[in-house]
Amino acid sequence: KYGLQPDILTFGCLALCCRPSLKLGMNLLRDMKAVGAKPNVEIMGALIKGATFTQNLYTVQVYLETMEKEGITADPYILNLVENSYQKYRKLMKAKEDGKISKLPYAMEQDYKRNWTTFRAFTAFYKDWLQRVKFDSNQDPMKQFKSDKDIQREEAANTVEKRVNRNIDTEDNFLEGEDQDLEKNIEGRRKEKHRTH
């Protein structure tokens, strides 16, 4: 109606609201694709943070797998989120087993009833994931705000800039040649003047 399109900032804000639900997070990622937007490390970080807040290792694993499929490189922030959540899960698990606590977050309570099957599956996945995945500690923080169109414009601008620089170099070479011809002509006229005098 108003001709407005959601951008990466819109989706970033929405990602912060997906905390309680994997379904909401996956719907957000689908909606992004539908409008031609790609998830980035910041959006995935917001989704993973929500999952770690509720101690839902299954959801964390789904998001990490999604990052791999999308070619999104994990940064130190995501690594810290996942590692801290994993260690907290282990401590809570041990406290529950030792009888030191009676209540767990909902996702953990469900896992406890299933004899920690989610934890075991995540542990196997996480060890393998750490071996497979490369981490990027030098990402351009402004890249998150660029849409596919922005990237295409930058690539087009770089192509034009290269072409212009090539033309300038060619023109400079041409002008350099003309300058040399002009200097020869001037020198030739001087010599003629000296001869005639």
pLDDT tens-digit series, residues 55-75: 999 999 999 999 999 999 898
Question: Poorest-confidence range of 10-24, 29-43, 134-148?
Answer: 134-148
Distance CA 41, CA 50 (A): 14
Q: What is the rounded average pLDDT of the residues 136-144?
A: 60
Contact of 184 with 191, CB cutoff 8 Å: no
Contact of 144 with 42, CB cutoff 8 Å: yes
Q: What is the rounded average pLDDT of the residues 69-91?
A: 92
Tally Cβ neighbours within 10 Å of residue 105.
15
Q: Is the pTM of this model over 0.75?
A: no
Going by pLDDT thresholds of 50, 70 and 90, the confidence category of residue 164 is low
